[in-house]
Amino acid sequence: MKVQKVLIALIMLPLLIFTSCDQDKNDDPVPTQPTVSSIVPAHNSTGVAINTTLQFTFSEAMDPATINSTTVTLNQGSTAVDGIVTFSDKTATFTPTANLLFNTQYTGSVSVAAKSLAGIALETEVVINFTTMVSVDATAPLIVSTSPLSNATDVTRNKNVSITFNEAMDPLTLNNTTFTLKQGTTAVAGTVTYTGTIATFSSTANLAANKSYTATITTGAKDLTGNALASATSWDFTTGGSSAVLASVDLGGAGNYVILAKTAINNSSTSAITGHLALSPAATSYITGLALVDFTGYATSSQVTGNVYAADMADPTPVTLTTAVNNMITAYNDAAGRPSPDFLELATGNIGGMTLTSGLYKWTSTVTIPADLTLTGGAEDVWIFQIDGDLTQSAAVAITLEGGAQAKNIFWQIAGEATFGSTSHFEGNILSMTGITFLTGASMNGRALAQTAVILDSNTITKVE
């Protein structure tokens, strides 16, 4: 019985081995046939640059030994084009030894002799046609305009210098070597950028006031076909502003008040105001929320460290307030009319997070302060901000003074409304043609001088001397 079982086992052994080997064979993956997944230039493309390369990208890794000048070719008609074939990252590249001819059709191909790493040949020969560009641009590029113009004066100190060309340029040829700015013999530090047909030099720091500058573009600047400017070009311009300290704005009688308005002063909750308040030509009834206590010619309030005045109070208050309001308007017009700004449209009106030195600033639209702002300068330095739109300071944002700068020397001339977010902190004298609104908990060191109303809500407003 044992002998019989042994004989059966010996008979079955070859069959088991055969079956096992056959199963292992069936588990092996079947190699796939490679294909060409993309081609550059595209088939039947026109206007192809004469310095182009021919690229075939395969669907899988290929055997580099089968990617060569025999399997990858480029022909012009029946004439083979000389070139070098390289292979990297599934892409075969044919680089012609010399530039191709203009306005000529070429045929590129990769043959079935190209094989994958598994030794599987390309599924089918791939053939493409393309036509090169019609002709070369042999004309030197021209400068259409410059900004600032040659011999321009009163140029703002934050002005970028730019050149507009008559055609697209090679961006690599527009840099700090070919496009420079100098003040005398001293090079100005900055960066060069290029977009469309415009090259721009942006100085790292603001330009100096009332100084002559020279911008230069050299013949190293070239168009896309390698044509250089016919000759180097330079032009001069002079900045505006003054190297001397900017003259302060005379507030006249308006400077005697921390808040001065024409139509109303309205307060919500409890505020803490240090300095006199005044309203004219509106009457006392248009001062609300301060629980006034009347005296002859003035009133007091527990929320005000100072006196409160209105146009209907006893003499000489009405005359005094008329003078103060007229002085406020004169001061507004003085600030608005200052010529030759040092800085124009700085940061397009978003000055949050900046550090500003003294000078004359002008914007033709709204100005916002969405992040903390620093004003830095000496005790005698003056800032005048000319704003044709509104001024808005975000909640919890603060203006900080550094280097001895004083709020009394800072003037904000605002044609629109001035709004200060809750718990924000502001520095300077506000000269507003319309309203001034302090939201809950906002504070200020300076003066709020409005040609309409001032709105308060639990604020701390402190006059500066």
Q: What are the pLDDT digits (tens) for 16-67?
A: 444 444 444 445 567 899 999 999 999 999 988 888 999 999 999 999 999 9
Residues in the chain: 465
pTM of the model: 0.66
C-alpha dist (Å) from residue 190 to 152, 196, 280, 463 = 21, 20, 52, 41
Using alpha carbons, select from 457, 397, 123 the residue that is nearest to residue 267. 457
Question: Looking at residue 245, what is its pLDDT?
Answer: 76
Rounded Cα distance between 122 and 317, Å, is 101
pLDDT in tens, 145-173: 999 999 999 999 999 999 999 999 999 99
pLDDT in tens, 312-357: 999 999 999 999 999 999 999 999 999 989 999 999 999 999 999 9
Question: Looking at residue 28, what is its pLDDT?
Answer: 54
The answer for residues whose C-beta is within 8 angstroms of residue 419's C-beta and 6 or more apart is 390, 391, 392, 393, 437, 439
Question: Looking at residue 415, what is its pLDDT?
Answer: 98
Using alpha carbons, select from 375, 379, 378 the residue that is nearest to residue 361. 375
Task: Please determine, for residue 139, whether its predicted confidence score (pLDDT) is greater than 80.
Answer: yes
The chain-wide mean pLDDT, for the chain, equals 92
Rounded Cα distance between 245 and 382, Å, is 7
* Interval 205-221 mean pLDDT: 94
* Residue burial 231-242, b: 16+ Cβ < 10 Å; e: rest: eebebebebbbe
Token pair for 279: 């309203």
pLDDT in tens, 373-382: 999 999 999 9
C-alpha dist (Å) from residue 129 to 44, 52, 95 = 5, 13, 16
Rounded Cα distance between 221 and 165, Å, is 11
Question: Looking at residue 11, what is its pLDDT?
Answer: 40
CA atoms within 13 A on the CB side of 143: 22
Question: Looking at residue 50, what is its pLDDT?
Answer: 86
Question: Looking at residue 51, what is its pLDDT?
Answer: 85
How many other CB atoms are found less than 10 A from the CB of residue 43? Answer: 11
Rounded Cα distance between 267 and 263, Å, is 14
Residue 240 pLDDT grade (very low, low, confident, very high; cuts 50, 70, 90): confident
Rounded Cα distance between 255 and 443, Å, is 19
Q: Which secondary structure element, helix H or strand E, spans residue 27, and what is its range?
A: helix 2-27
* Interval 196-221 mean pLDDT: 94
Residue 243 pLDDT grade (very low, low, confident, very high; cuts 50, 70, 90): low
Rounded Cα distance between 385 and 311, Å, is 30
- The beta strands (E) that lie in 204-248 are given as 212-217, 233-239
* Residue burial 175-196, b: 16+ Cβ < 10 Å; e: rest: beebbbbeeeeeebebebebee
